[in-house]
């Protein structure tokens, strides 16, 4: 009991997924950052790889940058280069978690000098946005404490609010501040922005152009993530997603790898809450790393997983579902919901792609293209991009 695939074709065509530049660099765990052949050495090579993902899928027209990992002398030139490659530059992500000064925090640090440094870095990121045409400044903080008594938790919230207010005041036009939360790591006793409620409290105090980023891997086991999606959409404060997948903590695996049903449920709520409507402002973005798999096909698989689960969510017969709910028919409502999830849309999606001049099987087309072999042969020497 689902809608015909033909009815969702035009809705599917609106899907745009923002891919992260850092997904193309080397990554790993706390124990080891792994090196792989063909890894980009420059942000230009990262953008070239991202453009390749878009070329084979038609799903990834925007690349998010991370500063200082992607810092260049001329961001206007970088913007033009991206456009030549067929993609645009999207969210600018600040980094206040790798310098020695940030060991005890950044925007919430007890030392005003360290807070000044962290604020100024975010102001630098806004200037980057002015040059790239980016709408969103995304802030994720590693701030927190490891031991009871280490710092005053209330004072840290006050300092964080003051820091965010100064950054927010510098935004112009349609620019937004997007605040991300994470319930633990690297701080283990308390985190300064640990949950959606704390993030919501801060962005609400800032103003209408401050919103929340929901990273699907940043929740405790058993958390009903789609409930949070529904609430933030209901309140008009969901700005973006960081899609990835987790088994234990913030694993940053390929989205849908661990729990495709969760991804389906989230996308059902995105549709229900208007987050997929034109002009909604909700950015669907990936935030994941490819520690052991090749990076370009890893991103291709990721965006295809989102597309597949969105197609299933669009097939949900909402009229029949609403009727079953009104009648209190619990089992029928669940059956309608599960019918959409279990629908195999892969053959329909293959035909849908071919109609639009895309490969029916993007993964196979990439493998046969020789691109992976070319970058492995060409990108020899220099310093590979990555966390280290």
- Distance from C-alpha of 209 to C-alpha of 206, rounded to nearest angstrom: 8
Query: Are residues 126 and 167 in contact, defined by beta-carbon separation less than 8 angstroms?
Result: yes
Note the pTM of the prediction, 2 decimals.
Answer: 0.96
DSSP state of 254: P
pLDDT tens digits, one per residue of 199-220: 999 999 999 999 999 999 999 9
Residue 388's pLDDT is what?
59
Does 1 have pLDDT greater than 90?
A: no
Q: Which of 208, 249, 105, 213 is nearest to 163 (CA)?
A: 105
> What three-state secondary structure class fits 100?
helix
Rg (CA), the chain: 21
280 backbone dihedrals φ, ψ, rounded to 5°: -65, -30
Place of tokens 């060409």: 378
Distance of CA 11 to the CA centre of its chain: 21
Asked if 108 and 156 count as a contact pair (C-beta separation under 8 A), the reply is: yes
Q: Could you tell me the domains of the chain? A: 15-316 (3.20.20.150)
- What is the C-alpha to C-alpha distance for residues 105 and 203, in angstroms, rounded to an integer? 19
**Is residue 285 a contact partner of residue 292, using CB atoms and an 8 Å limit?**
no
How many alpha carbons lie under 13 Å from residue 232 in its C-beta half-sphere? 34
Tens of pLDDT, residue by residue over 266-285, are 999 999 999 999 999 999 99
| Residue for token pair 């993030």 | 199
Q: Which of 109-113, 244-248, 333-337, 381-385 has the lowest mean pLDDT?
A: 381-385
């Amino acid at each position: 009991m689902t809608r015909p695939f033909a009815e969702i074709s035009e809705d599917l065509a609106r899907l745009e997924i923002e891919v992260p530049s850092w997904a193309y660099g080397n990554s790993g765990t706390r124990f080891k950052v792994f090196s792989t052949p063909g890894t980009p050495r420059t942000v230009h090579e990262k953008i070239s790889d991202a453009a390749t993902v878009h070329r084979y899928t038609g799903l990834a027209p925007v690349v998010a940058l991370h500063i200082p990992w992607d810092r260049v002398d001329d961001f206007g030139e970088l913007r033009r280069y991206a456009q030549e490659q067929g993609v645009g530059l999207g969210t600018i992500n600040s980094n206040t978690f790798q310098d020695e000064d940030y060991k005890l925090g950044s925007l919430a640090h007890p030392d005003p000098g360290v807070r000044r440094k962290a604020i100024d870095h975010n102001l630098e990121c806004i200037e980057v946005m002015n040059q790239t045409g980016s709408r969103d400044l995304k802030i994720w903080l590693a701030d927190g404490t490891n031991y009871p008594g280490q710092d005053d938790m209330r004072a840290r919230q006050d300092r964080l609010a003051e820091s965010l207010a100064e950054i927010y005041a510098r935004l112009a036009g349609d620019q937004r501040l997007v605040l991300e939360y994470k319930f633990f790591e690297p701080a283990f006793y308390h985190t300064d922005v640990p949950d959606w409620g704390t993030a919501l409290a801060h962005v609400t105090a800032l103003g209408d152009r401050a919103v929340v980023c929901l990273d699907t891997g940043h929740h405790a086991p058993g958390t009903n993530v789609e409930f949070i999606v529904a609430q933030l959409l209901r309140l008009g404060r969901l700005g973006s997603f960081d899609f990835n997948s987790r088994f234990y903590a913030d694993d940053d695996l390929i989205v849908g790898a661990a729990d495709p049903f969760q991804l389906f449920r989230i996308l059902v709520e995105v549709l229900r809450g208007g987050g997929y409507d034109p002009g909604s402002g909700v950015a669907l973005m990936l935030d994941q790393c490819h520690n052991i798999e090749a990076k370009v096909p890893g991103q291709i698989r990721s965006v295809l997983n989102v597309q597949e689960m969105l197609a299933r969510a669009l097939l949900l017969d909402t009229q029949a579902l609403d009727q079953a709910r009104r009648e209190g028919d619990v089992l029928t409502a669940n059956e309608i919901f599960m019918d959409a999830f279990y629908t195999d849309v892969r053959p329909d999606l293959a035909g849908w792609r071919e109609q639009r001049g895309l490969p029916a099987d993007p993964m196979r087309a990439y493998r046969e293209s020789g691109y992976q072999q070319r970058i492995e042969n060409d990108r020899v020497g220099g310093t590979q991009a990555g966390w280290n």
